[in-house]
Amino acid sequence: MAPAAREGGRGPAAPTDGQPMVEMVDVRKQFEGNEVLRGVSLTVERGETMVIMGGSGSGKTVTLRLIAGLIRPTAGVVRVFGQRIDTLGEEELLPIRRRMGYVFQGAALFDSLTVYQNVAYPLHEHTNLPEAEIRQRVVHFLSLVGLGSEVLGLLPSELSGGMRKRVGIARGLAQEPQMLLFDEPTAGLDPTNSHMVAELIVQLRAGVCDTAVVVTHDLELTKTVADRIAILIEGRFAALGPREAVLASSDPAVQAFLSGEVRVTA
């Protein structure tokens, strides 16, 4: 399917060459006295998959939510698509968010809506496309995540965990995003589904959406999808760089974290 001509516009164009899709500069985030992020800096370039790893409560999801503008940093600067977002209000953030696809850990599907209505939601909201065209696109996006049209009428409660996750990805794709954000995409999935989701993230880079930020503690997923890896330990990036370099890091804290992960996922 050719890229959809979005009616109503999709906001400013992607950043020009050389400008990162995401740029975080010395970002801090505090929740009621508890400092979760203690000055993290990160860039995500167009066309790369950045994986942010860390233990539970290390601030991975907080980082992703900061990128999506769902929360504001206590200090520091967050730029997305070249635009500073940490100073914007909710209304001003909406067009920027429409250029991202966010896949939640628990899929966060609208539980009173069918699969079709969930995936079609952004199309109904932001376009004036005829229903037949929307249906065609929904079927297309579901096919990209390996689901057939037989699931269209099902409610989220009637789907397995893996299927819910895939419908969540399809809903994110329906925005035709320039960047995908994945929050623990394999959490709660069996090894087969985890592998399938990892393969899917790789496949999506070919023609659908080439930039992604993946938050995970799953080392196997990281090895499959990452171009670069950032490891969050105690609110700071203990390592940040190309996949091979980080995985081979001699930093004791990084090695301790990675070896712990290997034991968990083995």
Please identify, using beta-carbon distances, which residue of 111 and 150 lies nearer to another protein.
Answer: 111
When asked if residue 81 is in the footprint of another protein (CB under 8 A), the reply is no
Q: What number of H helices and E strands is found in the chain?
A: 9, 10
Among the listed ranges 77-85, 100-108, 139-147, 197-205, the one in contact with another protein (CB under 8 A) is 100-108
User: 3-state DSSP call for residue 138?
Assistant: helix
Between residue 12 and residue 71, which ones bind another protein under the rule CB under 8 A?
65, 68, 70
CB of 5 to another protein, least distance (A): 17
**What element of type H or E holds 30?**
strand 22-31
Find the binder of another protein among 34, 90, 150, 157 (CB under 8 A).
Answer: 90
Return d(Cα 20, Cα 43) in angstroms, integer. Answer: 6
Among the listed ranges 15-23, 36-44, 89-97, 147-155, the one in contact with another protein (CB under 8 A) is 89-97
**Interface characters, 159-178, with another protein (x: CB under 8 A):** ------------xx--x---
State the DSSP string of 88-121: --HHHHHHHHTTEEEE-TT----TTS-HHHHHHH
**What element of type H or E holds 167?**
helix 161-173
CB of 75 to another protein, least distance (A): 22
Q: Read off the DSSP letter of residue 68.
A: T
Please identify, using beta-carbon distances, which residue of 208 and 253 lies nearer to another protein.
Answer: 208
Find the binder of another protein among 31, 110, 248, 262 (CB under 8 A).
Answer: 110
Cα–Cα distance list, 208 to 61, 142, 193, 211, 212 (Å): 24, 13, 21, 9, 11
Task: Count residues binding another protein (CB under 8 A).
Answer: 28
**What element of type H or E holds 162?**
helix 161-173
CB of 258 to another protein, least distance (A): 29
Amino acid identity of residue 154, one-letter, is: L
Rg (C-alpha) for the chain, rounded Å, is: 18
Pairing of strands 100-103, 179-183: parallel
When asked if residue 125 is in the footprint of another protein (CB under 8 A), the reply is yes
Are the beta carbons of 153 and 184 closer than 8 angstroms?
no
When asked if residue 121 is in the footprint of another protein (CB under 8 A), the reply is yes
Between residue 176 and residue 215, which ones bind another protein under the rule CB under 8 A?
181
Find the binder of another protein among 94, 245, 262, 264 (CB under 8 A).
Answer: 94
Which residues in this chain contact another protein in the complex, by CB under 8 A? Answer: 65, 68, 70, 90-91, 94-95, 97-98, 100-102, 104-106, 108-111, 121-122, 124-126, 171-172, 175, 181
